[in-house]
Structure formats: structure tokens, C-alpha cells
Amino acid sequence: MTLLSVNLNKIAVLRNSRGGSEPDLIQAAQTCIEAGAGGITLHPRPDQRHVRPGDVRAIAALLRSPALQGRIEFNIEGNPFAAPRGEYPGLIELAREVRPAQVTLVPDGDGQITSDHGFDLMQDLPKLAPLVEVLRSLGCRVSLFVDAGAQGFEQAIAIGVRRVELYTGPYAEAFAHGHAHDVLEHFADTARRAQQAGLAVNAGHDLSQANLGTLKAAIPGLAEVSIGHALIGEALYQGLTTTVRNYVQLLR
């Protein structure tokens, strides 16, 4: 079964818009877990526009509790090249503190409202290699955010990368316009090549209840999906528990 990792960034956006501590990320995480989510994802950024370093530490502590330890995957995402700023210590230092099961490296910057492209593996792997080595020494599985059509999977395996996450924004856009078939084979081919090289394949970005089933059917062996924006939006109408259960059922 494909693992559902719920991204809680949008919960943090709502909290930050008012200040204070509501809605509470810990309660949201517990609700998602009780509804069947197998993982929690956080994507801290240096500008702290949503999830903050304290949130990463708090969720890590929750998932290390006796009731949850070893049951729920913790995935943190971010740009490993973004310099520390204020209370943000940098992605690698956060990973050193909380030791998540998975770290997904993403080439995003402050000017991006959201992640909108993956790494160019052929160009970026040499500078990623020492960071991957550090993360592996911390016991973290490393995943790289990549575009459909990416090349260099064998080289990624050679430096210790174990997964790639397909950036599914273009698929979601095509699906919304009724043209999913135009891009699905491109995504499926990329997934096949990654799997043949020895990588597990994750997917994320703009996935929703409407488009997830079609993508999953096109990618046999899909390991994990990380879903936040659409899931939290749908939860406004359906409730968080019901929405998470719907996604879990789709992934079965």
C-alpha cells in the first residue's frame, strides 16, 4: 500500500495569520494519524512563513512518544543550501536535531510561493553528494524532488539517495484541464526508470482526491505520497478525519 504522509504546512499558515497557537499542529497531526495517515510531513523554510523550527521539534517529540515511536514516518522537506536565518538553523541542522526517518531535498527559494520544480540531477548531484552523506550518517533516508523526465538516477543511487519524489504539479494541472493522458505516460516512464535504477518513488504537489487515483494506477509500486494543500482545503468541507480516511482508502 502507498503510504500517505500529510503535510501540515497549511495548518501553520492559518495559525500564523492570527498569531497564537490555534489551530494546533500537534492536534492536527494526532487527528491525521488516528484517521490512518502513515506519515507526517513538514516543510520549514528560512522565512518561517508557515512551519517553524519549533513545530519540527514538537512533531518529532510527538512521533517519538511511546504510543507512536516506529509507527509513523516523519518526513521533513526543504532546501539544504538555504543558509540559517534567525531561529531557522538550516535543514541539515534541523535533521541533526530531530533525526527524521526521511529528508526530502527540494530546490526552493524565498521567491517561490510553493515548490515548482525539481533538481537537475546531472548538474546538482556533485554538490548534493556531501549533504546526502551527512544525512545518511544521521540515519535519515534521503529523497530528492525531481521533475518528470529527470535523468541521472544511477548517479543518485551511487551517492546514497534512496528515493525520488516526482513533482506532480504539471500532472495535476493537466488533469484539471482534462488532459491527464498527455502527461501520465511521461510520469510513468520516469517512475519506471527510477525504480529500475533501484530507487523507490514518491510523489507530491497538487495531488487531490480527484486526481490521486489516476496517478497511482499509472505508477505501480508508488511508495509514498505527500499531500497538504488540497487535503487541508478539502478538510474545510469534509472534516479532517473524513478527508484523511478518504485518501487512505484511495491509496488502498
pLDDT at residue 182 greater than cutoff 90: no
pLDDT at 143 over 80: yes
CB atoms within 10 A of CB 178: 8
What value does the mean pLDDT take over residues 224-243?
Answer: 98
pLDDT tens track for 113-133: 676 789 999 999 999 999 999
Cis peptide, bond prior to residue 23, ω within 30 of zero: yes
The per-residue pLDDT for range 32-58, each reduced to its tens digit, is 999 999 999 999 999 999 999 999 999
Domain locations in the chain as residue ranges: 3-251
Would you say 1 and 251 are in contact if contact means Cβ atoms under 8 Å apart? yes
Pick the closest to residue 205 from 132, 135, 147 (CA basis). Answer: 147
Mean pLDDT of all residues in 153-157: 98
Question: Active-site positions?
Answer: 43, 77, 205
CATH of 3-251, one of 3.40.30.10, 3.30.420.130, 1.20.1250.20, 3.20.20.70: 3.20.20.70
Q: Are 153 and 199 in contact (CB under 8 A)?
A: yes
Q: What is the mean pLDDT of the chain?
A: 96
Give yes or no for residue 112 having a pLDDT over 80: no
Closest CA to 188 of 156, 215, 151: 215
Distance CA 37, CA 31 (A): 9
Inter-residue contact 174 to 183 (CB < 8 Å): yes
- Whether 109 has a pLDDT exceeding 80, the answer reads no
Confidence (pTM): 0.95
Q: Determine the Cα–Cα distance for residues 124 and 106; give it in Å rounded to an integer.
A: 11
pLDDT in tens, 12-22: 999 999 999 99
